[in-house]
Amino acid sequence: MSDQPTLAEIRERREIATRRIKEDTGIDQDMIKNIVHGFYAKVRDDAMLGPVFDEKVENWDHHLDRMVMFWSSVALATGNYDGRPMQKHLSLKITRHHFDRWLELFAQTLSEYCEEPAARHFMERALRIASSFEIGIAAHNGVILGKGERYDPVSSWDPK
């Protein structure tokens, strides 16, 4: 007999985790959709982030649908997202300033769409994602960040 859980057991554990998160935070699919759409409306209008996204996102409807699935997986442990988000971000010419702005807009959006337990839950995950992406992008560009260091390269491109 194997000590590995069956697929049914994994699904059941995921459903229990999702139900517990919903109960503890009030997060649901409608909230996730509102946050994603509200956040990306801000991003598209933002002087720093808008151009970065406009250069890469060809189909906004598709992108928003994918981001709803992503945040459903991240916030509710649903497993709905199966992409590789780090890969999509490695070639971007962004610095710590872009991540800081992303987090600022995300926090603003959370304050508009959810109560404190949900906002805290989302923000904890957003901070980990931003940190992971910043470290990954730095490494992709040959920079290994030490503990507490941020990615702010001096190069010929304008990081604003």
The sign of the dihedral angle between the CA atoms of 95, 134, 107, 88 is positive
Nearest to 34 by CA among 81, 71, 82: 71
Cβ neighbours around 92 below 10 Å, total: 15
- CA-to-CA distance for 83 and 71, rounded, in angstroms? 12
SS (H, E, C) 43-91: HHHCCCHHHHHHHHCCCHHHHHHHHHHHHHHHHHCCCCCCCCHHHHHCC
Assess contact for 131 and 68: CB atoms under 8 A. Answer: no
Tell whether residue 62 is among the known ligand binding residues: yes
> Binding site residues, as ranges?
62
For the annotated binding site for heme, the residues are 62
